[in-house]
Amino acid sequence: MVTDSSTGTAVDSVEDEARWYFTGSDPRHEALRRNPYPFFDRLREHAPVLEVTEGKWLVSSYEGVNDLLKDNRWSRVPQMSEADMRLADRVFLRNVASYDSPDHERLRKTVAPAFTAAAVRRRGELIRQLVAEQLDAVRELDGFEFYRDFAFALPVQIICRLLGVPAERQDDFLTWSQIMVEAQEPGVHTAEMLEAADVAAAQCLEFFEELIEEKRRQPDDSLMTMLVEASVAEDSKLSLEEVVAMCVALHVGGHETTANLITSGIYLLANNPEAYRAVQADPSQVPAAIEEMLRFEPPARNSLHRIAPETMELGGQRIEKGSEVYGLICAAGRDPEVYTDPHRFDIARPKNRHLTFGLGMHFCVGAALVRFEANEVFTALAREPRALQVDGDPVWRNSFIIRGLHSLPVSWE
């Protein structure tokens, strides 16, 4: 037994906590995932690079996560044979984030032009229009569910328009993506969960085969048309599964990350009224506030995953070939060795060098879009005459991969 320094109460060993947190193998893991930060502090102090189960490592210090991400020798390619891959694995994992060189560059150069800062700004009017429409829909409500009624709907519309997914199929696409994401969580999966993921993957493939054929007949300015054209280009030649995997990855990254950032962000502002009043008085502080939100509650907590292509060393630990290493972005963002008073939400924090979007060759291709959408949302909210307040108990997602609120009841002051 060890003692939680924040409460003075006895808890189980850090190793046991880490196993529960990683695998979800004990009912107590739900509390760890709702508020993992006291556990992250214990883990960082006890073993900043810890083998949580055989061949599976957690990295909780800023230095360790930084070293992991900037060293391009670490692999992103899943360690499974073609025969062992289920259909859902192939559809979900054959994207730019799951490839090493040279395939990584082959896929990245196809999609990167659509996500440059200049390309995002060209879509600024559309994004502002959608933000205004979402605000109009909730402005006169006495209370509403912020995640469902506002934060969730907005990025889904934006990413689906970017991809060229018809409005009437957005809900289907969203459902398929969510089912496949759940099947990628570490831990034991039921046969029903895996079968559901394969069914979703098959439906996703069928849908995109039809959409690809449509874009071949009638090309437009959507990212899907860009991918279709790249599928036959000599220097890229994307397969159907790669096109679909890219669309799923962009959808998950484009909607999950932004929706979670917006929801966590308004939760943080509502619980830090001084910061909320500061951005209301001066909306030019919104970009700095967003960077602090990204540090304080990163919307993709542990998705920065690497595999040792050979025996490697990290944080003084020998990591054998084939081992999987998870950089805990939330833990790195609260490391007292890097951040003064790391558990304080401070929108004026200087040199906010968070790792939320990664580093190196796998730096998030959609970072500019996420920042732009968040800036438009929080600038619009800052200009509202009334502030939002939390009006009920928030519900955090029970996930190892994604950090975010599943429910946030709010009302206007």
What is the domain partition of the chain in residue ranges?
47-412
Range from 95-104, 195-204, 254-263, 306-315 carrying the lowest mean pLDDT? 95-104
Q: Work out the pLDDT band at 80, boundaries 50, 70, 90.
A: low
> How much is the pLDDT for 136?
95
Distance CA 314, CA 380 (A): 43
* 409 strand-pairing partners: 145
Q: What is the mean pLDDT of residues 207-233?
A: 83
Give pLDDT, residue 235: 64
* pLDDT averaged over every residue in the chain: 87
Angle, vertex CA 306, rays to CA 178 and CA 76, nearest 5? 75
Question: Which of 89, 291, 74, 334 is CA-nearest to residue 202?
Answer: 89
Please state whether the peptide bond connecting residue 78 to the residue before it is cis, i.e. omega within 30 degrees of 0: no
> What does the alpha-carbon distance between residue 253 and residue 241 come to, in Å, rounded to a whole number?
18
Q: Going along 235-377, which residue ranges are E strands?
A: 304-307, 312-314, 317-319, 324-327
Condensed to tens digits (0 to 9), the pLDDT of residues 264-294 reads 999 999 999 999 999 999 999 999 999 999 9
Helix (H) or strand (E) holding 222: none
pLDDT at residue number 8: 54
Q: Which of 68, 64, 61 is nearest to 42 (CA)?
A: 61
- Name which of 182-191, 300-309, 316-325 the model is least confident about: 182-191
> What three-state secondary structure class fits 335?
coil
Please write the tens of the pLDDT for every residue from 83-105.
Answer: 677 888 777 777 777 788 888 88
Q: How far is the C-alpha of 335 from the C-alpha of 45, rounded, in Å?
A: 10
The model's confidence at residue 63, banded by pLDDT at 50, 70 and 90, is very high
> Can you tell me the mean pLDDT for 214-233?
82
User: Where is pLDDT greater, at 37 or 240?
Assistant: 37
**Which residue carries 């920042």 as its tokens?**
371
Position 196: which residue type? A
pLDDT at position 137 over 90: yes
High-pLDDT (> 70) share of the chain, %: 93
CA distance 131 to 37: 32
Which residue in the block uniquely carries the two structure tokens 């559309």?
126
The set of residues, in sequence order, having a beta carbon less than 8 Å from that of 412 and lying 6+ positions away, is: 139, 141, 142, 386, 387, 388, 389
Are 326 and 59 in contact by the 8 Å Cβ rule? The answer is yes
Looking at 22-26, 56-60, 164-168, 336-340, which range is the least confident one? 22-26
Does residue 80 or residue 361 have the better pLDDT? 361
Predicted confidence at residue 10, as pLDDT, reads 55
Q: Which pLDDT score, from 0 to 100, does residue 226 have?
A: 81
- Residue 168 CA to residue 170 CA, distance in Å, equals 6
Q: Collapse the DSSP code of 305 into the 3-class scheme (helix H, G, I; strand E, B; otherwise coil) and give the result.
A: strand
Task: Determine the Cα–Cα distance for residues 396 and 200; give it in Å rounded to an integer.
Answer: 25
For residues 153 and 164, give the distance between their C-alpha atoms in angstroms, rounded to a whole number.
16
Nearest-10 Cα torsion for 23, 25, 29, 30 = 100
The Cα 264–Cα 405 span in angstroms is: 7
pLDDT cut 90: percent of the chain above it: 49
d(CA 93, CA 88): 8
- Please report which confidence band the pLDDT of residue 260 belongs to, taking 50, 70 and 90 as the band edges: very high
Q: How confident is the model at residue 195 (pLDDT cuts 50, 70, 90)?
A: very high
What pLDDT score does 243 carry?
80
- For domain 47-412, say whether CATH 1.10.8.640 is its number: no
pTM summary value:
0.90
